[in-house]
Structure 1
Amino acid sequence: MQTHNLGYPRIGSDRELKKACEKYWAGKASVEELMITGKNIRHQNWMTQKEIGIDWIPSNDFSYYDQVLDMSLMVGAIPKRYNKVILDKSNTELDLYFAMARGFQKEGIDIKAMEMTKWFDTNYHYIVPEFESNQKFSLFSTKIIDEYLEAKKAGIKTKPVIIGPVSYLLLGKEKEENFNKLDLIKNILPVYVEILTRLKEEGVEWVQFDEPFLALDLDTKTKETFEYAYIEIHKQFPYINKLLTTYFDGIKDNLQLAYKLPIQALHIDLVRCPQQLEEILGNIPGNIILSLGIVDGRNIWKNDFENSLEMIHKAVSKIGADRVMIAPSCSLLHSPVDLDLETDTKSLSLETKKWLAFAKQKIDEVVTLKRLAEKENDSELQKKLQENKKIVESRRTSTLIHNEKVKEKIKNIESVVDKRESIFSERKKKQKEALQLPSFATTTIGSFPQTSEVRSWRSKLKKGLITSLEYEELVKKEIEKTIRFQEKIGIDVLVHGEFERNDMVEYFGEQLDGVAFSKNGWVQSYGSRCVKPPIIYGDIFRPHPMTVKWSSYAQSLTNKNVKGMLTGPVTILQWSFVRDDQPRKDTCFQIALAIREEVLDLEKAGIKIIQIDEPAIREGLPLRKNEWKNYLDWAIKAFRIASCGVEDRTQIHTHMCYSEFNDIIQNIADMDADVITIECSKSDMKLLSIFSEFKYPNDIGPGVYDIHSPRVPSKQEMISLLQKAIKSIPVDQLWINPDCGLKTRGWEETKKSLIEMVGAATEMRKQY
């Protein structure tokens, strides 16, 4: 029996990679300094896993921005618009890489970034590959080989990780019509062959092929492509051990396909789909090793050793210990780095902490489970097993978790009003009269730049270096500055800027009962963006108003309308580490009731426009379509519970980003938000086509510029996008806004971009 890991967090235990990348982008660090930081993180990760006792450690799981972008660079899938970056010899390979991720503006060159979207049903974002018909591929970057050799030189035995050829193609988008990206399989396989040839020459034994699409619904062509790809790879490399990994759901109806593939090992996710083990063991071919993903790679609860050992014993008794591997369910990219760094008992109590395991601890759980399975009579190991039992039981029975009043509310959830008083067309008339907004009304999504100075105020408050009163005065000044700026440039619906908030989910979690927080539990969301998900351990309850004070203050400064800004229940659920001892929908309804109370308090305080952000609605969809309806029924109901208690004159906004809406447009309409704002600039307004085909009835604000890039768009660029938008959406339904919040941007670029945006709105009003 062997242990392995699918991937380790690459941000560093103190977010070293984030800090190093941002210094490099700001011109405050050299490329050599950035590379040294990357190398140090890789070596630390490898040594941690080696010292704990993992048999097969992953290499090429490190990335400076995103593993899918790494793959695009590796196979030379570089859009032609970046040729100018390549031809300029002063730019490094890393500059090209970051240009693809973030856009490029330099000396008259202005290039947009590639699209970004969610990695399956996680809050991790990947850079979407772009494909043309008859796309040519070639080995452009040797990162996978370089990192394997780097580990080998350090005395670390690794299995390189590569995104499988079929999943890589499926992750991308066709940039031309009338061709299927899967037809590119014959073009891309020679690059895989070249990579594997180089690895074989260096003595590689195992290669991990990530093929997460095997856990999704697949059509005949996709299944045929899988067979073709792996038969061709096996022909060339019969003696390289190929570990095929699936995760985030069960293989289910794709099991026979997986068994047809000439692979040596198959990894299955037994956290998301434990019931698949029986079927898999029932007819697994005798030549395949089975990797059991039994330690949760996406949540932070300690493993239940008894439950895991039962699955291990079942597999061993059926196929033998020599054909069993033990691993986390998926890459630990989605977990915080190290629980040992949590020393602050104010944010995370000792009782709650003992229930948790971060990436380092999960690696230890994998190794401990192997040893327990092999040496059941070892007294020291038995002590660990008994200790684990006590912890699992203490969590189940803890009084911290259960609030009977909240449970009673959930029992009566059907009695909560979840429909607006009037239909949208009637509400719109009342809102138009009450709000007096122009056509092409402008707004932003909510947050404004959080400078290092603003962030330092929160740090000083926590350390006791300033008082609460001093902190509030500093935040009030920043809010007033932001309100005055928006008034000056002519934005129609203002926001207060969210300077009091550390994160759009964490901020609310900190004020809700039933939620705990880590101090260093950072997880990568995209690029250098890291989030610290709340830990929902118990029943959710709102003990006091959370945002009313700041929204009311901002509104007192201006005659223009200021939006109240809230995060929706589904997004709080999705972007937290959620308790696993009750259905997710019950937890979501608890959050929805808390947000509903906040919405009603904002309305009472005179706030006429309230935005409830739900960027995670699409992300939360199960991977299998036959499970969508159940999820969408309760997810949309949760939003309506949160939003539908207000009067007709109160305008409800919601925001969604990086989502494909085609399959769920009816559900989006069922949310019945008066205004929805969406990310649209990177897709060149193509996301609007489904809203047009559906005849979406409510108002919509398609984002006119990409906030994840530092480039400043021109007024004409935004006008061009808006002219495309009006071909899909009637003028009287359109709002104008950025793609997303401005928290991560600098003030200079934000001011320039918003001035251009207001200029575009002014021009559109003249034309239409």
Structure 2
Amino acid sequence: MTTTIIGFPRLGEFRELKFTTEKYFRNELSEAELLEEAKALRSKHWQILKDKGLTEIPSNDFSHYDNVLDAAFLFNVVPQEVQDLELSDLGRYFALARGYQGDKGDVRAWPMKKWFNTNYHYIVPKFEKGTQVKVASQKIFDEFSQAKELGILTRPVLVGPFTLLQLSDFEEGLEPADFLEDLVSAYQAVFARLAELGAKKIQLDEPSLVKDLSAQEKELFLGLYQRLLADKKGLQVLLATYFGDVRDIYQDLIALPVDALGLDFVEGKKTLDLVKSGFPEDKTLYAGIVNGKNIWRNNYAKSLAILEQIPTDKLVLSSSCSLLHVPFTTANEDFGQDILEHFAFAVEKLDELRDLEAIRQGEEELLEANQALFAKERVGQNKELAQRLAGLTEKDYTRLPAFAEREQIQAQALKLPLLPTTTIGSFPQTKEVRSQRLAFRKGELSQEAYDQFLAQQIDDWIKWQEAVGFDVLVHGEFERNDMVEYFGQNLSGYLFSKNGWVQSYGLRGVKPPIIWGDVTRLNPITVKWSSYAQSQTKKPVKGMLTGPVTILNWSFPREDISIKDSTLQIALAIKDEVLDLEAAGIKIIQIDEAALREKLPLRRSDWYEDYLDWAIPAFRLVHSSVAADTQIHTHMCYSEFTDIIPAIDNMDADVISFEASRSNLVILDELKAKNFQTQVGPGVYDIHSPRVPAAGEIDQTIAAILAKVPSQKVWINPDCGLKTRGIKETRESLVRLVEAAQAARKEL
């Protein structure tokens, strides 16, 4: 039996790595203790993979923060200012991941972007004129050796050179080709060292190959691999791709002297057709047949039907991508068996791979049991909801009057100053906030006592925002555990796991809810606390909602209906909430679409028909019925938006805020070029770092924004919500934000 996976979750069954590392950040744990805990966690994970019968087990898929950042450190792609910090290797690593501010210096974190079409985020490396590419880290070697000492010969995993270059930034005047020779030499040095340690194979991850490739990009890829594979140092090379198909370069791939190719048969629309057109006899095909991104059980009959059409016997069954995108195991969940039997988390997906291979070897009873599961009717249809959706017309997706007229009406109604200041929504969720919410959920705190606590939190922060001088306030979202789960708890059709944590960025985990059936709103969700906050101040308080596309994208979606249909169901529910907020007197409503880009197809040819043609109208459906003087905001998190600016403008929001500080405001040039009409709030400081902006730093950022965007179109706000930050750093940063905005306003 030949089975493997692309990678395994890193945080641990109960997020052990997160909690251990946070202790290290708080100086409650030494670096040596942190490294020892990480070592134990890796050993545990390898043993699970071995016990589940995988014939090939990966290593170096573990990371203390991010695998792309690991590759940057491995190859010395680290700025000199960080190398000069008098810190340990791990200290410098975390300085680039999170920023550093202390007695050793002041370093800003590197930018962060979405990892292809997932909710995972990677740290963006930067090649500079002084970058000397060479092997500069022992991590990949140490982890291989650790597994070998346990009696497990692993297949080391490494971000491939093409994807590393594609995902990196370059100092002005430089381009990827400038580093081709040095990068090839460095990768070959890694090959040589691993072979010396006893490795037989290496996995090079090249997910960038599933995107649209230009002639120049194909030339770069082939140039890299023709040089790299000229001397494999005795290793067998698996070139792994995922998140789509490799139609642009398939013929070149199969002609390369790699020993194996990993292809995605789940998200790769054309993967099966490509392979059926011919696959070389001298190569092994790693078939990504078990979905690494969703939590539903694999339909064995469908998977086997695909496998039977693959024209090669040299086959290894694999996950479609790394399993870091799904929770650890269903073993820690409280669902009834009638529900649980439909789910497969990471550990259970190992069983599915083993089952599929066993069925291919003749164990038919496994197939029969799986077919019986899929023959069950899991959920029924909400006929009233179906009728409501069927009755939608173009009018339901169109807001009137047009933006230009609304902008003038809102200016008169809201009377906000130039460069209005606000935050994105949440304030720090302290240990006290979390403990009170937990006590209430467990029944240890009465509704009345919990409401009093929340009211006091809101009162304190409303008063603080007024004192500091914010123009548009927020209530802080202290009642919310998560921006999606909180809404899902008030919607029909949702289920919630107990321990279904998935890594989002760094050590941050999210617990995506599960869309089990048709979605409708059960009751008003946010009106109570938004109305209360507004009653405590004469300044406008934003109503805070999560948009339908983000709720869908940050949930585990159904597979029995389309994601378009699921999203429209959610849109109608959020539309009802918007209208209730407006009726309650909330005149500014923010509908976050932080994850708009997440399920955007990786190929431009699929963008509109397969996604934007329904995702953008779904957002418009939510706010199309509000009055002209109600101002609609939206917010987008860390991602790349420059190539979909027209689609974002077509959302027809009145104000959009987005991450900009880590990406050095590069989006502003594109907004200007595309004549973007919506008012904008580019984030002026990075909230994913504990670092407080230095004096004058935000002033410079605002000046850079005003150099490219008309002042009457600009809002001043942080990059994102402040839920994960501490109170002290938050208040210091926000005071500087308001002071900088007021200084710029005065100058204007």
State TM-score, norm by structure 1.
0.95
Instruction: Report the equivalent of 2:202.
Output: 207
Instruction: Report the equivalent of 2:306.
Output: 311
Q: CA deviation at 1:80?
A: 2.3
Give the secondary-structure state (helix, strand or coil) at the position aligned to 1:612: strand
- Say whether 1:341 aligns with 2:332: yes
Q: CA deviation at 1:403?
A: 1.4
Q: CA deviation at 1:663?
A: 1.5
- Say whether 1:28 aligns with 2:59: no
Q: Is the 8 A contact 1:715 1:759 kept in 2?
A: no
Q: CA deviation at 1:596?
A: 0.5
- Say whether 1:434 aligns with 2:413: yes
Percentage of matched positions with identical amino acids = 46
Instruction: Report the equivalent of 2:286.
Output: 291
Distance 1:635 1:81 in 2: 42
CA deviation map 1:142-168 (0-9, x unaligned): 111110000000111210001110111
Give the secondary-structure state (helix, strand or coil) at the position aligned to 1:466: coil
Q: Is the 8 A contact 1:135 1:187 kept in 2?
A: no
Distance 1:415 1:426 in 2: 21
CA deviation map 1:396-429 (0-9, x unaligned): x22x352122222222233552222112221122
Instruction: Report the equivalent of 1:726.
Output: 706
Deviates more, 1:671-680 or 1:743-752: 671-680
Q: CA deviation at 1:478?
A: 1.0
Distance 2:507 2:689 in 1: 12
Instruction: Report the equivalent of 1:54.
Output: 54
Gaps of 5+ in 2: none
Give the secondary-structure state (helix, strand or coil) at the position aligned to 1:756: helix
Distance 1:440 1:450 in 2: 28
Distance 2:649 2:26 in 1: 42
Aligned CA RMSD, in angstroms, stands at 1.4
Give the secondary-structure state (helix, strand or coil) at the position aligned to 1:607: coil
Equivalent residue runs for 1:244-643 within 5 Å: 244-273=239-268, 275-315=270-310, 318-320=311-313, 323-343=314-334, 345=335, 349-374=336-361, 376=362, 381-394=363-376, 397-398=377-378, 400-414=379-393, 417-630=396-609, 631-643=611-623
Q: Is the 8 A contact 1:401 1:514 kept in 2?
A: no
Instruction: Report the equivalent of 2:716.
Output: 736
* AA aligned opposite 1:342: E
Deviates more, 1:5-14 or 1:613-622: 613-622
Q: CA deviation at 1:275?
A: 4.7
- Say whether 1:707 aligns with 2:687: yes
Q: CA deviation at 1:385?
A: 2.2
Cα distance, 1:393–1:416 mapped onto 2, change above 3 Å: farther
Q: 2:116 aligned to 98, 102, 120, which one?
A: 120
Distance 1:616 1:331 in 2: 20
Q: Is the 8 A contact 2:58 2:155 kept in 1?
A: yes
Q: Is the 8 A contact 1:563 1:608 kept in 2?
A: yes
Q: Is the 8 A contact 2:11 2:17 kept in 1?
A: yes
Instruction: Report the equivalent of 2:14.
Output: 14
Instruction: Report the equivalent of 1:141.
Output: 137
Q: CA deviation at 1:456?
A: 1.1
Q: 1:96 aligned to 77, 92, 106, which one?
A: 92
CA deviation map 1:703-751 (0-9, x unaligned): 1100001011134111101111111100111110001000000000001
Q: Is the 8 A contact 2:195 2:234 kept in 1?
A: no
Distance 2:448 2:300 in 1: 48
Cα distance, 1:571–1:414 mapped onto 2, change above 3 Å: same
Give the secondary-structure state (helix, strand or coil) at the position aligned to 2:33: helix
- Say whether 1:111 aligns with 2:98: no
Distance 1:529 1:661 in 2: 23
Distance 1:329 1:505 in 2: 26
Q: CA deviation at 1:695?
A: 2.1
Distance 1:519 1:468 in 2: 22
Distance 1:371 1:254 in 2: 33
Distance 1:275 1:65 in 2: 33
Give the secondary-structure state (helix, strand or coil) at the position aligned to 1:49: helix
Distance 1:28 1:674 in 2: 46
Distance 1:390 1:765 in 2: 67
Distance 1:332 1:50 in 2: 16
Instruction: Report the equivalent of 2:625.
Output: 645
Distance 2:496 2:417 in 1: 43
* AA aligned opposite 2:359: L
Instruction: Report the equivalent of 1:239.
Output: 234
Instruction: Report the equivalent of 2:76.
Output: 76
Distance 1:27 1:402 in 2: 53
Distance 1:213 1:230 in 2: 14
Cα distance, 1:401–1:501 mapped onto 2, change above 3 Å: farther
Q: Is the 8 A contact 1:182 1:222 kept in 2?
A: no
Distance 2:28 2:392 in 1: 54
- Say whether 1:761 aligns with 2:748: no
Distance 2:174 2:215 in 1: 16
Distance 2:406 2:282 in 1: 65
Deviates more, 1:288-297 or 1:679-688: 679-688
Q: Is the 8 A contact 1:677 1:703 kept in 2?
A: yes
Distance 2:567 2:129 in 1: 43
Q: Is the 8 A contact 1:137 1:188 kept in 2?
A: yes
* AA aligned opposite 2:285: L
Q: Is the 8 A contact 2:134 2:182 kept in 1?
A: no
Give the secondary-structure state (helix, strand or coil) at the position aligned to 1:417: helix
Distance 1:253 1:26 in 2: 48
Q: Is the 8 A contact 2:284 2:315 kept in 1?
A: yes
Q: 1:174 aligned to 158, 170, 177, which one?
A: 170
Distance 2:744 2:275 in 1: 60
Instruction: Report the equivalent of 1:37.
Output: 37
Distance 2:275 2:328 in 1: 32
Give the secondary-structure state (helix, strand or coil) at the position aligned to 2:696: helix
Give the secondary-structure state (helix, strand or coil) at the position aligned to 2:238: strand
* AA aligned opposite 1:436: K
* AA aligned opposite 2:323: L
Instruction: Report the equivalent of 1:227.
Output: 222
Give the secondary-structure state (helix, strand or coil) at the position aligned to 1:8: coil
CA deviation map 1:240-298 (0-9, x unaligned): 11111111111123211211221111111111126521331331111111111111000
Q: Is the 8 A contact 2:359 2:366 kept in 1?
A: no
Give the secondary-structure state (helix, strand or coil) at the position aligned to 2:110: coil
Give the secondary-structure state (helix, strand or coil) at the position aligned to 1:695: coil
* AA aligned opposite 2:660: C
Deviates more, 1:750-759 or 1:684-693: 684-693
CA deviation map 1:201-223 (0-9, x unaligned): 11111111100011111112221
Distance 2:98 2:718 in 1: 16
Q: Is the 8 A contact 2:254 2:279 kept in 1?
A: yes
Cα distance, 1:715–1:440 mapped onto 2, change above 3 Å: farther
Distance 1:79 1:686 in 2: 20
